[in-house]
Amino acid sequence: MVQSLAFVSGKGGVGKTSLAINSAINLSLNGFSVAVLDSDFGMSNANIMMNVKADKTISDVLSGDCVLEDIICESHAGVKLIPGGSGTLDTLNLDTEQRWKIIRSLDALEDDLDFLIVDTPAGASNSSIEFASAVDHVIITLVGEPTSFMDAYAFLKALHLEKKVIDFSVIVNMAKNKDAALRDFKSFEKIALMFLPVNLNFIGWMPSSNDIVQSIIARKPFILDKNSKKAVGQCMDVITKNIQETLPKKRSGVQFFSSGNGV
């Protein structure tokens, strides 16, 4: 059975794409078969961070020019990248039926995958809400700033009220240390639980690290770099282990890898 997960945040620039890619590669290095779906169709940059040239994107699948298998790019450690669009209008303004078509097109990979990791865009658009509600495991990326808390809360609230999602995992990125990350998690949890009947689970943290910044500039994911791995790899290993140990929560509605009830 494929376990699907999505990295969400509300706010942009908090490290979703970096965490999505590095955890995908780490899972792959641990022997799992992994695909990354870049659902940031407006400004897809998973392919840039992975240093992969994406000739065809999900936009070509939607237009019927090719099938999903034709657009998959093999990347580091065998991770399969499903590239988002390149900001063209047709992928920016996806309607519900097109999103459903994308989700169902991934059924073709069901027998080949252990994990599907969905990288979502910033904001709480219909598109990010629908893709996030179609996975088994939603991971909120937080940084220790009020704007991040507010935007993550707004996203969580929308996902809970509109799609009845109850269970969320949380990663605190760019933290000073583990204690600071846990403090941020506790503050966020307190805000969320004050207003909504949800469950939040802390699954790890990442330090603020110049190695990570440099790895993005060099387009070489830090998990593949020996020196960076020494400095920040342990944190990534904890996150990857917790991803593996989180039991999938099946929900109703349109889901990846289960014949949902359509549009």
Ligand X SMILES: Nc1ncnc2c1ncn2[C@@H]1O[C@H](COP(=O)(O)OP(=O)(O)O)[C@@H](O)[C@H]1O
Q: Residue 17 or residue 215: which is nearer to Mg ion going by CB?
A: 17
User: Binding string, 24-63, against ligand X, x = CB under 6 A?
Assistant: ----------------------------------------
Residue 17 binds to Mg ion (criterion: CB under 5 A): yes
- Other Cβ atoms less than 10 A from the Cβ of 107: the count is 14
Q: Residue 30 or residue 208: which is nearer to ligand X going by CB?
A: 208
- When binding is defined by CB under 6 A, the residue of 2, 72, 200, 216 that contacts ligand X is 216
Which residues, at least 6 apart from 121, have a Cβ–Cβ distance to it below 8 Å?
A: 12, 39, 40, 41, 42, 43, 127, 128
Applying CB under 5 A, the span of 13-21, 63-71, 96-104, 132-140 interacting with Mg ion comes to 13-21
Residue 203 binds to ligand X (criterion: CB under 6 A): no
Q: Which two tokens stand for residue 56?
A: 């065809």
DSSP 8-state assignment for residue 174: E
Cα–Cα distances (Å) from 123 to 44, 89, 90, 94, 158, in that order, read: 14, 18, 19, 15, 11
Q: Kindly report the backbone phi and psi dihedral angles of residue 196, in degrees, each rounded to the nearest multiple of 5, phi listed first.
A: -135, 140
Q: Residue 38 or residue 130: which is nearer to ligand X going by CB?
A: 38
How far apart (Å, rounded) are the C-alpha atoms in residues 33 and 51? 19
Q: Residue 166 or residue 224: which is nearer to ligand X going by CB?
A: 224
Please report where in the chains the tokens 């969400």 appear, as a residue.
8
- When binding is defined by CB under 6 A, the residue of 2, 3, 8, 9 that contacts ligand X is 9
Interaction site with ligand X (CB under 6 A): 9, 12-18, 122, 173-174, 206, 208-209, 212-213, 216
